[in-house]
A and B are shown apart, each in its own frame.
Chain A
């Protein structure tokens, strides 16, 4: 812990100023690149350097957004967000639960190891058609898809975290006569809050991948559907517009996890 002195020294003032200026510079360029990119894209389209039918154009994308309610984008966003959240929550909960079982029983964990390795390296998208046949072409197929993609990663990540819990902490708890259940709830789990959130951050992205892939296949609703549909009818404005919305949705969901992490860590005083 550094004690901030009451009166800030000149050197410190200079240091803080430099830091601030450095940050502003980075932010400036981040925004500038985006603006520049959009401007070049727009102008190139206006001047006919690029084919806006294939590459679309910022103004045309904006126009698509203006008719949000008309072309139902809002509903599609809602569908995708809903499916992603359900897949994400299920994946995180089920994955953590399985990791707990594997941590608990060395035997089960040894037996299941080769299966986990194979499942982990299998491209889960390949299961898409099978999933649709099993659970039907609808929302549930999409959620199962998201689950399939995120589950094994969560299990492995959490298990790894549980296993690398500080041995000495566990020994300390054992000296007080802690049961396995107590060791888990009082040492292993709270010691892995960071692992949990790291895995949630990976998970939110993976669930979205699963949902979009699922929507491509099921083709009924959602941003994934919109992208496929837009591609088929050559409405590239719709495709580009949806992709942009998708990245915003992904960023917002990620941010939500980061905020949740901050709240939880603050509660644990770290």
Chain B
């Protein structure tokens, strides 16, 4: 089943100095439960594309369809995770992860129980009355993910959600997040600079061209293994083949 359909998306930014065409004619779709990544050269419009899908930005051209309905603004069916955890320093962890529900006026006992259940499942329950500054970077990122999941979106958008973390923590957190998303059976679309990260987590990878970004190719990533986890993928023999293909397509000049 198709959750997200992106058709003919184009975006032009207007400013005093002129016009920037960030995206042109983007078409693809994402299936239920799929993990898809977007990679592309810096400034090719990846963040712009996610903002459009999230309904934060109106596209100049084209349409976004979510579960068969046209997107025309921020929808509670989409959860968006940004690069920084953006936990609010003046709220406890519990209050932070309830933030989305509070904004959407959905602080019902069932939803609160679900959020607390997520905290318990993902090892943050003892920290619920602590403040963000008392948590490590990895735990903070997990709290940010729980804040997004607590509103129970059908689809998750992640914009370089792990790039603020150091390498070790990043490996651990991607493993965590991958397991969490698969367990909750969420569809995800992730933007990243990190090719290994995209290969290790994704079912499909979309490669964008330089600005104006257009779809260059879409790769299906499969590994011959029983229980796929990002960490295990990294040491699989197919990993390098995928890496080289995508690296060549990105056309990086030094």
Binding site for B on A (CB under 8 A): 1, 166, 168-169, 171-178, 182, 186-187, 190-191, 193, 268-270
Within the assembled complex, what's the spacing in Å between the Cα atoms of A269 and B80? 27
B56→A176 contact, CB < 8 A: no
A176→B82 contact, CB < 8 A: no
A177→B76 contact, CB < 8 A: yes
B131→A176 contact, CB < 8 A: no
Within the assembled complex, what's the spacing in Å between the Cα atoms of A177 and B83? 18
Q: Which of B97-111 contact A (CB under 8 A)?
A: 99-100, 102-104
B131→A270 contact, CB < 8 A: yes
Which residues of the other chain, A, contact B84 by a CB distance below 8 angstroms? 168
A171→B56 contact, CB < 8 A: yes
Nearest Cβ on chain B to A4's Cβ, whole angstroms: 15
Known A175-B56, A190-B88, A269-B131; further 4 A-B contacts with Cβ < 8 A: A176-B99, A176-B104, A177-B74, A191-B88
Within the assembled complex, what's the spacing in Å between the Cα atoms of A169 and B96? 12
Q: Which of B74-97 contact A (CB under 8 A)?
A: 74-76, 78-80, 82-84, 86, 88-90, 92
Asked whether B44 is an interface residue with its Cβ less than 8 Å from the other chain, the reply is no
B 46-72 to A, binary, CB cutoff 8 A, 1 in contact else 0: 000000001010000000000000000
B134→A175 contact, CB < 8 A: no
Within the assembled complex, what's the spacing in Å between the Cα atoms of A177 and B79? 10
B90→A175 contact, CB < 8 A: no
Asked whether B151 is an interface residue with its Cβ less than 8 Å from the other chain, the reply is yes
In the assembled complex, 9 residue pairs joining A and B whose CB atoms fall closer than 8 Å, in A order, are A166-B86, A168-B83, A171-B56, A175-B54, A175-B80, A176-B103, A176-B104, A177-B74, A190-B90
Nearest Cβ on chain B to A169's Cβ, whole angstroms: 5
B90→A171 contact, CB < 8 A: no
Asked whether A168 and B100 contact (CB < 8 A) given A174-B56, A193-B90, A269-B131, the answer is no
B56→A186 contact, CB < 8 A: no
Which residues of the other chain, A, contact B104 by a CB distance below 8 angstroms? 176-177
A169→B88 contact, CB < 8 A: yes
Which residues of the other chain, A, contact B74 by a CB distance below 8 angstroms? 174-177
Q: Secondary structure of the A side of the interface?
A: helix
The 6 closest A-B pairs by CB, nearest first: A175-B80, A172-B86, A177-B74, A176-B103, A268-B90, A176-B100
Within the assembled complex, what's the spacing in Å between the Cα atoms of A269 and B130? 9
A172→B90 contact, CB < 8 A: no
Within the assembled complex, what's the spacing in Å between the Cα atoms of A269 and B95? 12
Quick one: which of B73, B75, B86, B133 contacts A168, CB cutoff 8 A? B86
B88→A187 contact, CB < 8 A: yes
Give the size of the chain B interface in residues (CB under 8 angstroms).
26
B102→A186 contact, CB < 8 A: yes
B82→A168 contact, CB < 8 A: yes
Nearest Cβ on chain A to B55's Cβ, whole angstroms: 8
Which residues of the other chain, A, contact B151 by a CB distance below 8 angstroms? 176
B 107-122 to A, binary, CB cutoff 8 A, 1 in contact else 0: 0000000000000000
B50 nearest CB neighbor, chain A only: A175
Asked whether A169 and B76 contact (CB < 8 A) given A176-B99, A176-B103, A182-B103, the answer is no
A270→B90 contact, CB < 8 A: yes
Within the assembled complex, what's the spacing in Å between the Cα atoms of A194 and B226? 53
B89→A270 contact, CB < 8 A: yes
Which residues of the other chain, A, contact B82 by a CB distance below 8 angstroms? 168, 171-172, 175
Which residues of the other chain, A, contact B54 by a CB distance below 8 angstroms? 175
Which residues of the other chain, B, contact A169 by a CB distance below 8 angstroms? 86, 88
Quick one: which of B78, B90, B103 contacts A269, CB cutoff 8 A? B90
Which residues of the other chain, A, contact B102 by a CB distance below 8 angstroms? 186
Within the assembled complex, what's the spacing in Å between the Cα atoms of A168 and B56? 13
Which residues of the other chain, B, contact A171 by a CB distance below 8 angstroms? 56, 82, 86
Within the assembled complex, what's the spacing in Å between the Cα atoms of A169 and B144? 12
Which residues of the other chain, B, contact A175 by a CB distance below 8 angstroms? 54, 56, 74, 78-80, 82
Which residues of the other chain, A, contact B100 by a CB distance below 8 angstroms? 176
Nearest Cβ on chain B to A181's Cβ, whole angstroms: 11
Within the assembled complex, what's the spacing in Å between the Cα atoms of A206 and B80? 45
Within the assembled complex, what's the spacing in Å between the Cα atoms of A191 and B87? 12
Which residues of the other chain, A, contact B131 by a CB distance below 8 angstroms? 269-270
B 22-57 to A, binary, CB cutoff 8 A, 1 in contact else 0: 000000000000000000000000000000001010
Nearest Cβ on chain A to B71's Cβ, whole angstroms: 12
Within the assembled complex, what's the spacing in Å between the Cα atoms of A61 and B149? 69
Within the assembled complex, what's the spacing in Å between the Cα atoms of A211 and B12? 56
B86 nearest CB neighbor, chain A only: A172
Nearest Cβ on chain A to B123's Cβ, whole angstroms: 19
Within the assembled complex, what's the spacing in Å between the Cα atoms of A172 and B104? 13
Quick one: which of B78, B80, B134 contacts A1, CB cutoff 8 A? B134
B132 nearest CB neighbor, chain A only: A269
B90 nearest CB neighbor, chain A only: A268
